[in-house]
Copies of this chain bind each other. A is one copy, B any other.
Amino acid sequence: MTTPTNNPAATGILTIVCPDRTGIVAAVSGFLAEHNGNIVDAQQHTDPLPNVLFMRIEFDPSAMDLPREEIGQALAPIGDRFAMRIGLRFTDEPCAMGIMVSREEHCMMDLLMRQRIGELAVRIPVIIGNHPHLAHLGEAFDVPFHVVPVTDANRSEAEATAIQILHDAGCHFVVLARYMQILSPLFLDAFPMAIINIHHGFLPAFAGARPYHQAAERGVKLIGATSHYATATLDDGPIIDQDVIRVSHRDSVEDLIRKGRDVERMVLARAVRAHAEDRVIVYGNRTVVFD
């Protein structure tokens, strides 16, 4: 997927994490200036407690005196000097996003539509459903839809099949668009910090099953949804985005489910967009999400 020459329309995105000290911004921006790379957008954040610096720099590589393939190597000495974890990607090489889904269509439909009208900088090469229920929608959007049923008996094989399908399709990350199966550590390890889940509750409240029923039972006045990276502990991974909507005593559980759908797809879409544009950096169990 590399491009031989620098595409004038594309920008490069550098993400950097390292211990904070004087001179980091100067070193990186000096490097770019020296090679004639103009900074289009830069954001940084310093977390004082562990004293860590997070940085996202978007730059225009079109006038640079380095081909984009050599930028990473040329940056390496600076990376070594400051003990940086560096990411580098170009916006004309969009990520491939796999979708996994069960019976409810609203999140999947939302992502497919947003991708089609250009809101999401991703390709969607494949959808996997554990039910055939939504297969016709894959068709309507021209995305291959694989049915991989999951039972208690076949769980391991089913996961292996799904991983194979996602890898074959070249997926860089996976979105669980209301996929109602719990993934094994094996599956999680196949896409480390690259599986985005939407939980239909305002975490850490209402983790686990039937969060809207829990919310109705407790009598809350707002319900929410949470998008997070899936980790080995259910509904406990780093949160990317959350939002809520007002409810009242007039709302039955069915109303909560209906209102919640709007929050779910908004929150999931924002999280996917942020991930696809390299705006999310995970540290510990938290995230930095640059605007």
For the complex of A and B, list the 8 residue pairs with the smallest distance between their C-beta atoms, beginning with the closest: A219-B286, A205-B205, A26-B33, A25-B29, A23-B33, A26-B29, A140-B140, A22-B38
A188 to chain B, nearest CB (A): 19
| 10 sampled A-B residue pairs with Cβ under 8 A | A22-B63, A25-B42, A41-B45, A106-B113, A119-B258, A204-B218, A220-B239, A221-B289, A249-B289, A291-B291
Chain B residue contacts of A258, Cβ below 8 A? 119
Residues of B contacting A165 in the complex (Cβ-Cβ under 8 angstroms) = none
A93 on the interface (CB 8 Å rule)? no
Most buried by B among A23, A25, A219, A244: A219
Q: Are B22 and A33 in contact (CB under 8 A)?
A: yes
A41 with B46: CB separation less than 8 A: yes
Check A218 against B285 for contact (C-beta < 8 Å). yes
Minimal Cβ-Cβ distance residue in B for A59: B22
Q: Is the CB of A20 within 8 A of B41?
A: no
Residue numbers in B under 8 Å from A33 (CB-CB): 22-23, 25-27
Q: Does A43 contact B (CB under 8 A)?
A: yes
Chain B residues whose CB sits within 8 angstroms of the CB of A204 once the complex forms: 205-206, 218, 220
The verdict on A197 contacting chain B, using a C-beta distance below 8 Å, is: no
Q: A34: nearest residue on chain B (CB-CB)?
A: B26
Is chain A's binding surface mostly helix, strand, loop or mixed? Answer: mixed
Does residue A287 face the partner (Cβ distance < 8 Å to B)?
yes
Seen from chain A, the residues whose Cβ lies within 8 Å of a Cβ on chain B are: 20-27, 29-30, 32-34, 36-48, 54, 63, 105-106, 109, 113, 117, 119, 140, 202-206, 218-222, 224, 238-244, 248-250, 252, 258, 261-262, 266, 284-289, 291
Give Cα A95 to B206, complex, Å: 36
Chain B residues within 8 Å of A30, by CB:
26, 29-30
Question: Could you tell me the distance in whole angstroms from the C-beta of A34 to the nearest C-beta in chain B?
Answer: 8
Nearest CB in chain B to that of A239: its residue: B219
Asked whether A242 and B262 contact (CB < 8 A) given A43-B43, A140-B140, the answer is no
Q: Cβ of A238 and Cβ of B219 under 8 Å apart?
A: yes
Find out whether the CB atom of A287 lies under 8 angstroms from the CB atom of B40.
Answer: no
What's the Cα separation between A33 and B46 when bound, in Å? 16
Task: Say yes or no: A20 contacts B32, CB within 8 Å.
Answer: no
